[in-house]
Amino acid sequence: PIPVILDVDTGVDDALAILFALAHPGLTVLGISCVAGNAPLDRVVENTLRILDVAGAGDIPVAAGAHRPLIEPARAASHVHGEGGLGSLVLPATERRAVPENSVELMRRLIEASPEPVTLVALAPQTNLALLLRLYPGLAGNIERIVFMGGSTSVGNATAVAEFNVWHDPEAAAIVQGSGVPTYMYGLDVFNRVAVDEATAEALLAGDSPLGRVVGALLTNRVLAGTDGDTEYSGLIGDAGAVCALVDPGALRTQLLPLRVQLSGYGRGQTLADLRRNPGEDIVHGLAEEWQSVEVALEVDVPRVTALFL
């Protein structure tokens, strides 16, 4: 199995991703690192611990990391994930607690102790990962790569052009991109496509399996569709799709693209990708350090990934 550390802001779809990662035999989840994003940090930690209880995976260490981005204040996405972070789902309280060390120290310890290079799966703003790579750049040698949900080569969600995770802490994302660790971007280009149909989600919700009922409740969480207060079913598996991409890479078409994180102006938080046929011919790329080469998922076989997830 591939050794992984998940960095999360649980979060409806982070919860789906954690459940999938724990269930898949091709992955060993070494630990989970929490960061402020979808919800405030204390909620993220509590939601993560409760989800581990649902999965019966109480022995996986969970740590609390950054409670806000490097520069800006935290801006939770309660319009998408609800005040508590898990939509309308309220899970039973847990006796479990986070480990005493912070996220960066937990990740350092796990990466150093791993006999094989560790894959970091970043499903949240990248504040913790930026701090880790700034404090311990030498760890890069034992990090296989960073698979991140974030960014977009086209439309955004937090703004017209910026995706939430990158927008929430653009400096952190830029630090991670510039760290020298190979990165794989599972952005909105594919994230917005992988969904479970409503009948299947309702069947899970009404079924006999306690785990299935939690997955059904997460999938049927309704998000605000517009300014008039309407909500709609999306069925998106969200962050879980990035974990699916890790275990079934053939289900996606990817391309190595020059990419940069925009830090100023309206485009702040945008992952600007150079989609020209021959980007390497542009003299600018030879001069500007802020362009990084990133493997970007551009197309996804939706039925294949949905079936894998289910």
| Tokens of residue 89, six digits | 């789902």
Among 3, 4, 5, 11, binds Ca ion (CB under 5 A): 11
Among 90, 99, 149, CA closest to 120: 149
> Is 77 among the residues that bind ligand BDR (CB under 6 A)?
yes
Q: How far is the CB of 95 from ligand BDR (least distance, A)?
A: 26
Measured from the Cβ of residue 279, the count of other Cβ atoms closer than 10 Å reads 16
> Is 124 among the residues that bind Ca ion (CB under 5 A)?
yes
- In our burial notation (b when 16+ CB lie closer than 10 A, e otherwise), range 76-86 reads bbeebbbebbb
62 or 80: whose CB is closer to ligand BDR? 80
Phi, psi values for residue 251, rounded to 5°: -80, 0
Strand-pair partners of 146: 120, 183
| Tokens of residue 234, six digits | 């999306």
Among 39, 123, 132, 161, binds ligand BDR (CB under 6 A): 123
165 or 270: whose CB is closer to ligand BDR? 165
Q: How far is the CB of 12 from ligand BDR (least distance, A)?
A: 7
163 or 291: whose CB is closer to Ca ion? 163
> Is 46 among the residues that bind Ca ion (CB under 5 A)?
no
> Is 14 among the residues that bind Ca ion (CB under 5 A)?
yes
CA–CA distances in Å: residue 63 to residues 7, 38, 41, 233: 10, 17, 10, 32
Size of interface with Ca ion, in residues (CB under 5 A): 6
10 Å CB burial of residue 223 (0-12, 13-18, 19+) is middle
Interacting residues with ligand BDR between 130 and 189 (CB under 6 A)? 149, 157, 163-165
> Is 123 among the residues that bind Ca ion (CB under 5 A)?
yes
> Is 238 among the residues that bind ligand BDR (CB under 6 A)?
yes
Binding residues (CB under 5 A) for Ca ion: these are 9, 11, 14, 123-124, 239
